Structure 1
């Protein structure tokens, strides 16, 4: 695998972190407005990948992302799309419900993306690194070693730690698993800002992102929820081509299944998230 990494150098000021836009144009529009309201420049807005995914407007979403000028790494979906692969590369168990759903939304996304959008996806790196408040930060999708690896808060630190060693980082910012969390051990922080394209299985249609703040030259972060026009997103998904279960999740905030989740995270379904 190409180990392409983009080093942004030193970043200062508020920085917006998010992932999993999943072709959800309404959520991306709302997040862009948040960035503008907070005076966060596009170059300080960083996505953990999977700009394309489950929702109904892949082409419009990629084009808005490109127009905005935010930064992103590739998710497994971008890798598969730009290689014209036959599946999403999500590492779902064969025959699972998620696998079955992916056989609907992935070819739908393939059919909608223009050559211009595919060429934009070709420009995205596998990793982004930068320095923030004297911390070395690396942005990965699943993990540094496997773009499709599901890493959760309950995932053992022994599985997370090699990522810090391999990248010489104090902070790993990751995506892919769909849930926001942070896990700190001594001076090392694993931070998942969550995704904006789908709710976090917490029984709420709002979605999650994070903001870094280097006030007083210290590394601070906050998890934030995003309100957006989820009813329109859900309605657009009811097109007879995408999984109806996903359009329901957009409204209910509850995942159709918890196949990918460890026992701890699965047991928290619908209980809300306090971060």
Structure 2
């Protein structure tokens, strides 16, 4: 069984952080190539959850992550697969487009799960904590207390401050919301690497990850993006009867809808992200 928080000690050197594989094997392969080229070892790579999601290769992605030997936490999708829940646990409003589509891709994922997959997911922690460049860092999926809570750049800082107080961390590495962003305030850093399984609603097929650096003993971070064989991932979704709109998002970079987004993030749809 998983533990709530796993302390992985002290890490040094560059760290690659990413989230939301969403069953997108083609993107995951490209990220592995990027990590190998940058000579970032598995023990310095962290996934913020949602290995499984909208795309066509859930079992293959779980096996890939396990074989790679990187750090990962449970997202709400993994948790609900383990608990044999009937939906993905994203807290979509009933009858919404996201809810309707989840009734297509989540049962597909359930059917693909192997005993090996479920055993691996069950031993993943819900959170990670470690020391890095004189910072205490906590890795969460949604928020400290709610694995499926959406926290965006526009979310009130008080919500983030509460999470800092609960974790006693200087840096929170979060996932779930699907959009990359970083915020700093009063010596605290809230960093969301974004996801690699779907574009960031910015009108490009790019996907995002984050590099932490401890050069000269100082903490720093930088967002990166890449493109991959998204057409292949798109075709696999269509061949397996998965939501057409989501398969198109892989190519267009535009989400089918903005149901989960606050107004501030909705207004940025189709505008290429720059850091």
Q: Using structure 2 for the length normalisation, give the TM-score.
A: 0.98
After the TM superposition, which residues 105-120 of structure 1 pair with which residues of structure 2 at under 5 Å, given as runs? Answer: 105-120=105-120
Would you say the 8 A contact 1:62–1:117 is kept in 2? Answer: yes
CA distance in 1, matches of 2:73, 2:97: 27
The alpha carbon displacement at 1:28 in A equals 0.5
Matches within 5 A, 1:1-275: 4-239=4-239, 241-275=241-275
Decide whether the 8 Å contact of 1:108 with 1:241 is kept in 2: no
- Conserved 8 A contact 1:20-1:52: yes
Cα distance in 2 for partners of 1:176, 1:243 equals: 20
List structure 1 runs of 4+ shifted beyond 4 angstroms: none
Shift of 1:221: 0.5
Shift of 1:202: 0.4
Alignment CA distance shift 1:10-1:240 (3 Å): closer
Q: Secondary structure at the match of 1:238?
A: helix
Assess if the C-alpha contact under 8 Å between 2:182 and 2:190 holds in 1.
Answer: yes
Distance 1:93 1:45 in 2: 33
Q: Which runs of 5+ in 2 are unaligned?
A: none
Give per-residue Cα distances to partners, 1:217-245, cap 9 Å, x unaligned.
00010000022110100011002521000
* Superimposed CA distance per residue, residues 5-24 of structure 1 (whole angstroms, 9 cap, x where no aligned partner): 11111100010000000000
Give the gaps of 5 or more residues in structure 1: none
- Give the match's secondary structure for 2:239: coil
Once the two structures are TM-superposed, the CA of residue 206 in structure 1 deviates from its matched residue by 1.1
Query: In structure 2, how many angstroms separate the alpha carbons of the residues matched to 1:166 and 1:50?
Result: 23
Q: CA–CA distance in 1 between the matches of 2:96 and 2:113? A: 26
Distance 2:41 2:240 in 1: 38
RMSD: 0.9
Aligned residues: 274
CA distance in 1, matches of 2:227, 2:7: 32
